[in-house]
Chain A
Amino acid sequence: MPEHAAPLLRPPRHRVDPRARRWWTLQALLTLSGPMLLTALTMVVLSLLFFPGALPWLGPLLLVVLVLPALGYLLVMPRWRYAVHAWELGSQAVYAAGGWFWQKRRIAPLSRVQTVDTVRGPLQRRYGLATVTVTTASTAGDIKIAGLSDADAEELSLRISEAAQDVPGDAA
């Protein structure tokens, strides 16, 4: 720790719901890892059927290019995300952290909040999760908190709306 008392930004207090890990895993499987694994499988089957001679070099190539990245993404991303994603509602501002490889921490004062949206996608509904999006007048100031439990999301959106009304300002 440096001697001078330069303040540091601490992570938000509350983590998202643990079920979010499963949601992210399923999402990864459907969007990226699944297709990559399927492609690899198809190519292996095709080469087995028609070009058996190609397997010695095709196998390792597919392993490195498709299989390992797909599995890595599937296993690493949800855990990493879960370790990073967090949120906090202060008396003056909303604070959220997100991302995994590239991480983002964003703070928007309640006086600037324009709308609070709660979105539940089909996958999220399966796990009882919701995403709360707090919009401001600037698109670079929109805060997205993904992977909250339904109850938390409802409570949070209610509290943000109330707090935003209490704080004077025209949200411009």
Chain B
Amino acid sequence: MSTPREPGVPGTDPGASVGSGPAAPPGAPFEETPWRRLDPRTLLVHCGWMAAPLGSLALTALATGGRINTEAWITLAAISASFAVLTTLGLIRWARTEFRITLPRRGEGAGGASPTFDVRSGLLTRRLRSVPLHRIRTVDLTATPVHRVLGVTVLRAGTAGSGDGSSELSLEALAVPEAERLRTELLAYADAEAIANDPVVARINWRWLRYAPLTFWVIGGVFVAAGGAYRALDGIGIEAWKLGFVQRAFTEFGASALWLTIPAALVAILALGSVGAVVLYVENWWSYCLEWTDSRTLRVRRGLLTTRAVTIERARLRGVVLREPLLLRAGGGALVRAVAGGLGNREENRKRSGLLPPAPRAEALRVAGGTLRSPFPGSAAPAALTPHPRVALRRRRVRGLLFVVLPGTAVPAGLGAAFTPVLLHCAWIYALITTALSLWLARDAYRNLGHGLDGPYLVARSGTFSRDTVALQRDAVAAWTFSTSPFTRRAGLVTLTAAVAAGDDGYRIPDLPAADAAGFATTAAPGILEEFLVHPGPAPVPEQRSR
């Protein structure tokens, strides 16, 4: 492992370099901190692009039995030339990029000077960018798979009003521990109060586009679009199945090797769906900006063809939902919705309550916090939510086995026993796969269950296909509902629903222990159900009302 912490050009006076931004003048009350360099493994990252052409070349060589023809030789030469050029450029960039944190000298630091983060780069035009640490709002570390293999990561520091990339400092790339250390150093001076008071909560960052394909609609959307096209054609009297090229395509599809064409078709559908998702994402979230227009109004602006602007009055903002659909969660993303009154009916509310598109989870937590004007529960430390009893896990397992595994197995098994053994094989394969899958999902669903109180907020988390963490203002709770079924009653559980005059109206906390539910509801929103409580003792019975 090479150490990234090489002193670059120690003692170089920062003021001497061609600078943009408030560079520290010579003799400033700063400690001379050494310049630090990027990790040399960055050079290897730049070679990552060669994988695809080299791979295809190797495949060609394999396919032709080791014979490399002229064309391949030319490709190889081109790759080598590009490699040489890019590596040289990378080497120069690596050698010429340096960064450091300057700290005010002890005793003199009080004179208005604040610590800054300096990055200088460039071969001919030396560029020095220097950002006061208290203006830094976000520091995120991102790593592509290539970065991860090499154990390095890209660090980006965003300042107030950044997000479009212009006022952002990025270092590519640092060793992971080094990057973590730098992030801590950078954020140690970030002005927490300014973060809370910054009117712009979030702007679109096109790097978030990578989260766009992480929805179930990537596959479903293709079929929906295909169905729509078919119906449209059908409407004008064209039967798609009878078109010559469609029939030919299907015949060829069936005739060629299925083990090759089916994966190819799947990949094509995935690619098409991803493109669709990205297009939708761009259309929906173009020039997205979430900001406090004044201290009482939150405004979301977005949209490319249709521009949308939703204004939410603070008094009507009752909470925030952090949604993490399964795929998005797997990719480390989340999206944020407002729980606000007056956004219209359920459908309109769904369309208008979006505060943040699919984005990195850390960003989602930050936006949720910026919306609540207090840290979103669980963003600082892992949320201390109370887990639910183990019986809830059993209920989820039984539910999965009963409603997914059983019908899908029993029907083909029955038919198979009657007609053909092929269906029997289908049945046991289905049973095996869905059992494993539903047990895994049940476990995930159970782990996601949690509830708790965090200052003025009631926090509840549930769901597996979409893990939703809702933070509701406790004094916004308008009513409590305790729902049970014979099964939950036997298991000693109850589902508590908090009614609020905002968002989806009712927010469920599924499968609470029955003994704790009333106590939790009372603590969370006092003044509603105290007079209907009994403290364990003689069990009361409903008496016949005298008439």
Q: Which residues of A pack against B, CB within 8 Å? A: 1-2, 5-15, 17, 86, 88, 90-93, 95, 101-109, 112, 136-141, 143, 149, 152, 172
Query: Do B533 and A141 touch (CB < 8 A)?
Result: no
B483 touches A7 (CB 8 A): no
> Interface with A: B34-42, B217-225, B236-244, B496-504, which one?
B496-504
With A106-B480, A138-B506, A140-B506 as known contacts, state yes or no: A12 contacts B542, CB within 8 Å.
Answer: yes
B545 within 8 A of A: yes
For B474-495 the 0/1 string (1 means CB < 8 A from A) is 0000111111111001000000
Closest to A140 in B: B506
Complex-state Cα separation, A153 to B165, whole angstroms: 65
> Among the listed B489, B502, B529, B543, which residue makes an inter-chain contact with A107, where contact means beta carbons less than 8 Å apart?
B529
Which of B478, B479, B485 has most A Cβ within 10 Å? Answer: B479
Q: List 24 A-B contacts (CB under 8 A).
A: A2-B515, A7-B535, A7-B536, A8-B533, A9-B533, A11-B541, A13-B543, A14-B545, A86-B542, A90-B532, A103-B483, A103-B485, A104-B484, A106-B480, A106-B481, A108-B528, A109-B527, A137-B478, A138-B501, A139-B506, A140-B506, A141-B505, A141-B506, A172-B341
Q: Is the CB of A104 within 8 A of B478?
A: no
Complex Cα–Cα for A17 and B546 (A): 10
Which of chain A's residues have a CB closer than 8 A to the CB of B547?
17, 149
| Residues of B with C-beta under 8 A to A14 | 542-543, 545
Chain A residues within an 8 Å CB radius of B522? 7
Alpha-carbon distance between A87 and B463 when the two chains are bound, in angstroms: 32
Residues of A within 8 A of B439 (CB): none
Asked if A138 meets B515 with Cβ closer than 8 Å, knowing A90-B531, A95-B532, A106-B480, the reply is no
Instruction: Choose among B497, B531, B535 the residue that contacts A91 (Cβ–Cβ < 8 A).
Output: B531
Q: Are B540 and A11 in contact (CB under 8 A)?
A: yes
CB distance from B129 to the nearest CB of A (A): 49
Residues in A with CB closer than 8 Å to B482 are 9, 104-106
B531 adjacent to A136 (CB under 8 Å): no
Partner of B505, one of A2, A10, A140, A149: A140
Contacts of A10 in B (CB 8 A): 532-534, 540
Complex CA gap A137/B534 in Å reads 28
Known contacts A86-B542, A107-B480, A140-B481; decide if A92 and B528 are in contact (CB<8 Å): yes
CA distance A17 to B547 in the complex (A): 9
Q: Determine how close the nearest CB of chain B comes to the CB of A171; give it in whole angstroms.
A: 9
* In the complex with contacts A9-B518, A104-B483, A93-B506 CB distance below 8 A: no
Contacts of A102 in B (CB 8 A): 483-485
**In the complex, residue of chain B having the shortest beta-carbon distance to the beta carbon of A85:** B542
Q: Are A7 and B518 in contact (CB under 8 A)?
A: yes
CA distance A7 to B530 in the complex (A): 9
B519 touches A6 (CB 8 A): yes
Q: Pick the contact of A104: B481, B519, B545 (CB < 8 A).
A: B481
Docked Cα-Cα span, A93 to B526, in Å, equals: 12
Find B479's partner among A13, A88, A140 (CB 8 Å cutoff): A140
Taking a contact as CB atoms under 8 Å apart, the answer to whether A7 and B534 are in contact is yes
Residues A12 and B537 in contact, CB atoms below 8 Å apart: no
Which residue on A lies nearest to B482, using beta carbons? A105
Write out the residue numbers on chain B whose beta carbons fall within 8 Å of the beta carbon of A136: 478-479, 499, 501
Residues of B within 8 A of A13 (CB): 542-543, 545
B517 touches A9 (CB 8 A): yes
B505 near A15: Cβ-Cβ < 8 Å = no
Judge whether B166 is part of the interface by a CB distance below 8 angstroms.
no
Contacts of A9 in B (CB 8 A): 482, 517-518, 529, 532-534
Q: Judge whether B516 is part of the interface by a CB distance below 8 angstroms.
A: yes
Q: What separation, in Å, do the CA atoms of A109 and B476 have in the docked complex?
A: 12
A137 touches B516 (CB 8 A): no
Q: How far is the CB of A150 from chain B (nearest CB, A)?
A: 11
* B544 interface residue per 8 A CB criterion: yes
Pick from A5, A12, A86, A102 the residue with the most CB of B within 10 Å. Answer: A102
Known: A86-B542, A139-B505, A140-B497. A93 touches B531 (CB 8 A): yes
Neighbouring A residues of B536 by C-beta, 8 Å:
1-2, 5-8
A14 to B544, CA, bound (A): 6
**Interface contacts beyond A8-B535, A108-B528: sample of 8 additional A-B pairs, CB < 8 Å, sorted by A:** A9-B532, A13-B545, A90-B531, A101-B485, A107-B481, A138-B479, A138-B500, A138-B501
Chain A nearest Cβ from B427, distance in angstroms: 24
Q: How far is the CA of A113 from the CA of B533 in the complex (A)?
A: 21
> In the complex, what residue of chain A is closest to B486 when comparing beta carbons?
A101
Taking CB as reference atom, which chain B residue is nearest A1?
A: B536
- Expressed in whole angstroms, the Cα–Cα distance for A172 and B497 within the complex equals 18
Contact of A7 among B478, B498, B533 (CB under 8 A): B533
* Chain A min CB distance to B388 (Å): 15
Q: Tell whether, in the assembled complex, residue B518 and residue A8 are in contact, meaning their CB atoms are under 8 Å apart.
A: yes
Cβ contact within 8 Å between B532 and A108? no
The 4 closest A-B pairs by CB, nearest first: A140-B506, A141-B479, A137-B501, A141-B499
A24 to chain B, nearest CB (A): 17
Q: Which residues of A contact B484 (CB under 8 A)?
A: 102-104
Are A92 and B527 interface neighbours, CB within 8 A?
yes
Contact pick for A95, options B514, B516, B529, CB 8 Å: B529
Question: Quick one: given A15-B544, A91-B531, are A6 and B516 in contact (CB under 8 Å)?
Answer: yes
Q: Is the CB of B479 within 8 A of A109?
A: yes
> Which of A2, A90, A103 neighbours the largest number of chain B CB atoms within 10 Å of its CB?
A103
Other-chain residue from B483, B499, B514 in contact with A138 (beta carbon distance below 8 A): B499
B residues near A138, Cβ cutoff 8 Å: 478-479, 499-502, 505-506
Minimum CB–CB distance from A159 to chain B (whole Å) comes to: 14
A8 close to B515 (CB less than 8 A): yes
Contacts of A143 in B (CB 8 A): 479
In the complex the two chains form, is B532's CB within 8 Å of A140's CB?
no
Chain A residues closer than 8 Å to B483, beta-carbon distance: 102-105
Chain B residues contacting A108 (CB-CB under 8 Å) are 478-479, 499, 528
